[in-house]
Amino acid sequence: MSEESLREIINGAPEFRPAPADGDGQTGPRRRATKPQRDVLVDLVEDNALWRDQDGQAYVTVPINGHYENCLVRSARFRTIIAGGYYRLHGGAPGGQAMEDALRVLEARAINDGPTCRPFRRVGELDGHHYLDLGDDDWRAVEIAPDGWRIVERPPVKFVRSKGMRPLPEPERGGRIEDLQQFINIDGEADFRLVVGWLVGALRATGPYPILLLAGEQGSAKSTSSRICRALIDPNTATSRAAPRDERDLVAAASNSWILSFDNLSGLPVWLADAICRLSTGGGYSARQLHTDMDEALFEGQRPILLNAIPDLGGRADVGDRALSVTLPPIPDSRRRPERTFWADFEEQRPFLLGALLDAVAAALRHLPDVRLERLPRMADFAEWVTAAEPGLGWEPGSFLEAYERNREGIVELAVEASPVAQAVCAFAAKPDPTIEPVQPPDLWRGSSSDLLPLLSGRVSEAVRNSREWPKNASGLGAALRRAAPVLRKRGIELLNSKGGKDSRRSITIRRAMP
């Protein structure tokens, strides 16, 4: 079946008409399909419309009302499309078994014979250009190139959508990113640049992506600021979610959204902190698709992540090492605005704010090849990307990196304060036990975790020793030291691990970090 015929059938050009009776001109019973329903459904789809992703998931590209939609072969959306095509041909609904058999055949053709393509959600890239799915009914996108941006009717990348995805406004030129300050409760230019930098980073198709942490007391507009940030890039029905219950829920959210936004967190469980770190810098996840089979549902990728909470969540070293931490000030009653007028003003400005962010991305694409940072911080790709975008934002060269490094220094202090082990190591390094046999400088101490634990325990109070945060054995201390190592290094203390000796015990060396 030709592509034109497929388009006509699915879009409703042919109308079903009952077949006339034998020679008497009267209307007779409905004409029966000459093929099995399964084959009729399969024939609705051209071979070149089928493809698969890197993980072997089957997809199909279907022409609908002058545009193309990409969806999973097993999706409810595709079932509806081909069921509608069948009805227009034959005036009835296909049987459930015929539909299931047809989907199996199409899935096999996509996986075995279709090309491998990369599906994108909201943000994609191809040949040095970035694309932003506008999420509208016509499946248009914004193409961003080094010389600027434009709206395209048929983007060359394969965008896929989830149910909760909502459209972006058509971007307008001439906007100023400074106008965003009236909608986000941020105190200070440095913090504002961090939030804008996170937004510009979230428009990049490849990570890593820093975690934006918004902290503040009740009434500091944490949730509203989170909604504003997401509405500028990836609006969704579920603007901000509660914390996921387990890793399966987190993977499901990441599989169906571009930006992950979690609201009003009271803390970060260990499993969630570990999973968020992997999503930030890249990692794979797997889980059984069903409890009754051994097949795995796979997810591998990176996502921009936004968390808001009353406590500052940057105290955990591995999270803080990947984070931008912004504390929102309380809002006095004199500055509060009715939600009705606030959101109306934001919707009026949203097309211009989006246009300003797109200008920044175009500048990043233009200047990135020439960016050379004197020192590469953690999340160096992100830092280079936002530095390259500075001309498009109207910022002075190096202003973002200055704000970023200052923020990281604050996170280091917070992480040390939040870790009793890190505090104990700092106290021990500042004043080693004089009864311990000295070692060669710059080393301060060398020994096993079992030897170190009582030495550090003597530097903390009994309440800390009895708390859940204090390690109870050598293994727990080793894990705590590994988590604290990045922030201790920023404090000028380096932890080295080695293995040797007659009993092959692991040895820990505490030394002054080399400049």
| pLDDT at residue 150, as a whole number | 98
| pLDDT at residue 35, as a whole number | 81
| pLDDT at residue 29, as a whole number | 44
What is residue 252's DSSP assignment? H
Which phi and psi (to 5°) does residue 26 adopt? -85, 155
Per-residue pLDDT of the chain (515 residues; tens, 9 = 90+): 444 445 555 555 444 344 333 344 344 444 554 789 999 999 999 888 999 999 899 999 999 888 999 999 999 999 999 999 899 888 889 999 999 999 999 999 999 999 999 999 999 999 999 999 999 999 999 999 999 999 999 999 999 998 889 999 999 999 999 999 999 998 889 999 999 999 999 999 998 999 999 988 888 889 999 999 999 999 998 777 788 888 888 888 888 899 999 998 888 888 888 889 889 987 666 555 544 444 455 667 899 999 998 777 766 777 888 899 999 998 887 788 898 999 999 999 999 999 999 999 999 999 999 999 988 888 899 999 999 999 999 999 999 999 999 998 888 887 788 788 988 998 888 887 666 666 777 788 888 888 899 989 988 898 989 988 899 998 899 888 888 888 888 888 998 887 655 555 678 889 887 65
| pLDDT at residue 140, as a whole number | 97
Q: Token pair for residue 242?
A: 């509660």
270 CB-near residues (< 8 Å, 6+ apart): none
Q: Closest Cα partner for 254 from 267, 244, 266? A: 244
Maximal CA-CA distance, the chain: 114
b/e code 408-422 from CB counts within 10 Å (16+ = b): beebbbbbbebbbbb
| pLDDT at residue 16, as a whole number | 39
| pLDDT at residue 416, as a whole number | 82
Q: CA–CA separation, 126 vs 118, rounded Å?
A: 10
β-partners of residue 50 are: 60
- Strand ranges for 111-252 from DSSP E: 119-120, 123-126, 129-133, 141-145, 148-152, 158-159, 211-215
What is residue 221's DSSP assignment? -
| pLDDT at residue 301, as a whole number | 80
Which phi and psi (to 5°) does residue 316 adopt? -75, 125
β-partners of residue 172 are: none
**Within 10 A of 310 (CB to CB), how many other CB atoms are there?**
15
Q: CA–CA separation, 142 vs 354, rounded Å?
A: 11
| pLDDT at residue 289, as a whole number | 52
Q: Token pair for residue 386?
A: 């936002």
pTM, whole model, 2 decimals?
A: 0.83
User: At 483, which helix (H) or strand (E)?
Assistant: helix 474-490
| Strand arrangement, sheet containing 50-52 | 50-52, 58-64, 67-72
DSSP string, 69-95: EEEETTSHHHHHHHHHHHHHHHSSPPP
| pLDDT at residue 251, as a whole number | 85
| pLDDT at residue 157, as a whole number | 96
User: At 486, which helix (H) or strand (E)?
Assistant: helix 474-490
| pLDDT at residue 17, as a whole number | 40
DSSP string, 397-422: TTHHHHHHHHHHHHHHHHHHHH-HHH
Decide: 205 and 120 in contact? Cβ < 8 Å: yes
Number of H helices, E strands in the chain: 16, 18
Terminal-residue alpha carbon distance, the chain: 69
Q: Closest Cα partner for 164 from 197, 198, 135? A: 135
Q: What amino acid is encoded at 146 in this protein?
A: P
